[in-house]
Amino acid sequence: MSYLRRLWAVWRIEYIETASDKGTECIFCKLPSESDENALILMRSDRTFILMNRYPYNPGHLMVAPYSHVPSLELLDEKETKELWLSVNKAIEVLRKALNPDGFNVGVNIGRVAGAGFEGHVHVHVVPRWNGDTNFMPVISDTKVISDSLESMYRKLKKHF
C-alpha cells in the first residue's frame, strides 16, 4: 500500500511569505548583451532569441525568449508572439536535425507558483526527449545524468542555426 509522506518544514513559511526577486538580475535581459558563446545564445532574431539552458533537464534543453521584459504571453504584441512561436518551431527543427530525439516537452511557466525561475520575463522551454532517457538515478540518488557538456552541445547545435 502506498501512502503520502509528509515532511514538516514549518521554518520555511517565513521565506515563502517574504520571498521576492528583488536584487535578482533577469538573465533574459542581461544575456543578449554578451557574446553568443558566453551567453550560450544559438540564434538571435528581431524580437526573440534562442539559448541553451545552463541547468538542463536533458541535453539540448533550449529556451526561447522575447527581448521584451514581460511576465506573460498575452502581454506580447502580435509581432512578438508570432516570432516567439516561429523561433520555438526553429528550435524544434534544429534539435530534430542535430540530435534526433523521439519527442519533446515544450512549456511555459507563467508565475512563480507555476515554476517560473524568472517570473518577470516569459520564455518557452524546449526539451528534447528520448525513449529511455529516464532511469533510476533521480529516484535512488536524487541525481539527473546529463550525457554531454554544454560546450560540446553548443557546438553541435550552433552549426544548424
- Specify burial of residue 127 (Cβ count, 10 A radius: 0-12, 13-18, 19+): buried
Is residue 40 within 8 A of residue 51, CB to CB? The reply is: yes
125 is catalytic: no
Residue whose C-alpha cell is 558566453:
38
Provide the 8-state DSSP code for 42: E
Name the maximum alpha-carbon separation found in the chain.
Answer: 55
Shortest CA distance to 65 belongs to which of 121, 142, 131, 149?
121
19 Cβ contact list (under 8 Å, min separation 6): 112
Q: Positive or negative, the Cα torsion across 6, 12, 16, 19?
A: negative
The active-site residue, picked from 61, 121, 123, 125, is: 123
How does strand 124-129 pair with strand 103-107?
A: antiparallel
Q: Which residues are catalytic?
A: 123
